[in-house]
Structure 1
Amino acid sequence: MSVCNVSLQVIPKVPDEMTYPVVDKVIEYIQSTGVKYEVGPMETTMEGELDFLLEIVKKAQEICIEEGASRVASIVKIDYKKEGVTIDEKIKKYRG
C-alpha cells in the first residue's frame, strides 16, 4: 500500500484543565511510533502506511480513556492516492 496522510484530532471528554495534558499523551505516543508527523493547532497529521496509521488512531482512543476521559470523539481525515502522498508535497511551498 502507498504512503498516505492521516490527520487526527482527539476531543477527550475531561475537565477543561485536563484537555491539553490528555492530548499531549496522544502526541507523545505518536512520537514514539517513529512515523513522520506534524502537530498543528487543531490536529496532528501523520505520514505512513494506512494500516499502521489507523492502528495509531485506534490506540489514541485508548490513551484518552486511560488518561481519564469518560468519552473521546475523534476527527480523522485520510488523504490517499495510489502513487502515494506526502506532507511535504502539500506544504513545502509554504515553508521558508
Structure 2
Amino acid sequence: MQPTINLGIQIVPKSQTLDTYTLVDRAIEVIQSSGVPYTVTPFETVMEGPQDLLMDIARKAQEAVLEAGADEVLVYYRMQVKKDAHVTMGEKTFKYSK
C-alpha cells in the first residue's frame, strides 16, 4: 500500500481563442470527480492520496484541458512525500480552520 502524499498541481492553459478560467475549470472537474480529497486555491489545486493515483488524475486533468481546446498546457507539480508516514493536508492547515 502506497503512503498518502500531497500533490499540488497548477495547470496553465494556452489558447488564442478560449478563456483560460474555463479551461482550468475542466481540469478541476476531473479532480472533483476523482473522489480524492482536494483543495482549490487561487494558484493551484492540492490533492491527497497515493502518488500513483494522483499522478494519473493529474494526467487526466491535463488531457481534459487539451481536449477542451487548449493549444498547449504548462503543468507544474509540487509534492510532499514522507519516507515512512502519510502526508495530509489537515496536518498542515488544521490550526487555521475556523
Question: Which shifted more, 15-24 or 81-90?
Answer: 15-24
Q: Match of 1:76?
A: 77
Q: Match of 1:37?
A: 38
Q: Match of 1:87?
A: 89
Q: Distance in 2 between matches of 1:15 and 1:36?
A: 33
Give the deviation of 1:95 after TM superposition.
1.3
Aligned residues of 2:18 and 2:69 also touching (Cα < 8 A): no
Q: CA RMSD in A?
A: 1.2
- TM-score (normalised: structure 2): 0.93
Q: 1:17 to 1:69 in 2, by over 3 A?
A: closer
Give the deviation of 1:17 after TM superposition.
5.7
The share of aligned pairs that are identical, in percent, is 43
| Paired residue total | 96
Task: Name structure 2 gaps, 5 residues minimum.
Answer: none
- TM-score (normalised: structure 1): 0.94
Task: Name structure 1 gaps, 5 residues minimum.
Answer: none
Give the deviation of 1:63 after TM superposition.
0.8
